[in-house]
Structure formats: C-alpha cells, structure tokens
Amino acid sequence: MGTFSWIVLAAVAAYLAYTTYKRYKTVKNYDPSNESSKLQTLTDANFKKSIAKGVVLVDFWAPWCAPCRMLAPTISELADDFDGKATIAKINIDENKKTAASYGIRSIPTLIVFKDGEPVQKITGVKSKSTFSNTINKQL
C-alpha cells in the first residue's frame, strides 16, 4: 500500500472512532431534562386523546434502552422542527404497559406515526432525522 492509501485509511479510522465516541457520550450523558419543551410525554391515561387529531409521531421507549437514549436528541429536535405542524411525543413502555401492548410493541425504540388517531406507519430502530422528517411530512 502506498502512503496515500495509509493516510486515507487513517482518516477513515479516525472518523469512525470519533463518531463512535460521540454516540457513546450521547448515550452515557442522556438527561431527559434537556429535551425540548415542545416534546409531549404521554401516558396510558392521556394517550388516546393526545393522538386523536392531526399528525402525531410517538416514540415508544424505555430509560434502560441505549438506542432509545441515542435517538432522544433527534426526537427532541423533531419536536422543535414540527412545532405547530405535527405533535412529537414519547411514551415510556415500562410505565405504560397497556398502551405498548395494545400497539404490539415488541422491540424498542419503535416509533409510530398516527394521523387522526389511526396508525399509518411504524418505524423500528434508530434511523436518521431525515427519515423521520420525511415520514411526518408525507402525512401533513
């Protein structure tokens, strides 16, 4: 391998190390108090009423779930971005088992887009912000 190849390889390795470290810090330092004030917290009691009108993205999550904590900043940004256009909410499946069971949540994070109370799309796993934005925009 030539010198240029080693430089490119080192740059790629450094980038991967940096992005992995950045994700690790996000997960380790997750603090729900830093989330957007526009992000709604749902419960079994208020769930049906909260999703009844308009477009609502609901994040089914749990505090012990590392991918959920990694996705939390993205969900918070979406709440700010879609303020007044769509509702962005989250529901803790450990505290609200009835709702999670009624929608067949078997793995988390799972996000469901509701339109006027009806589920229209389910997304499981960590995805990019643009994936969620595009999904919401299709329903607006």
Q: Are 120 and 114 in contact (CB under 8 A)?
A: yes
Among residues 57, 68, 72, 113, the one annotated as catalytic is 68
Instruction: Tell me: cis bond preceding 109? Omega within 30 of 0 counts.
Output: yes
Among residues 42, 57, 58, 65, the one annotated as catalytic is 65
| Dist CA 63 CA 70 (whole Å) | 11
Q: Are 113 and 124 in contact (CB under 8 A)?
A: no
Asked about 114 being catalytic, the answer comes back as no
Asked about 82 being catalytic, the answer comes back as no
Query: How many degrees, rounded to 5, is the angle at CA 105 between CA 80 and CA 49?
Result: 55
Q: Are 59 and 127 in contact (CB under 8 A)?
A: no
- Identify the H or E element spanning 118: strand 118-124
Q: Name the residues annotated as catalytic.
A: 65, 68
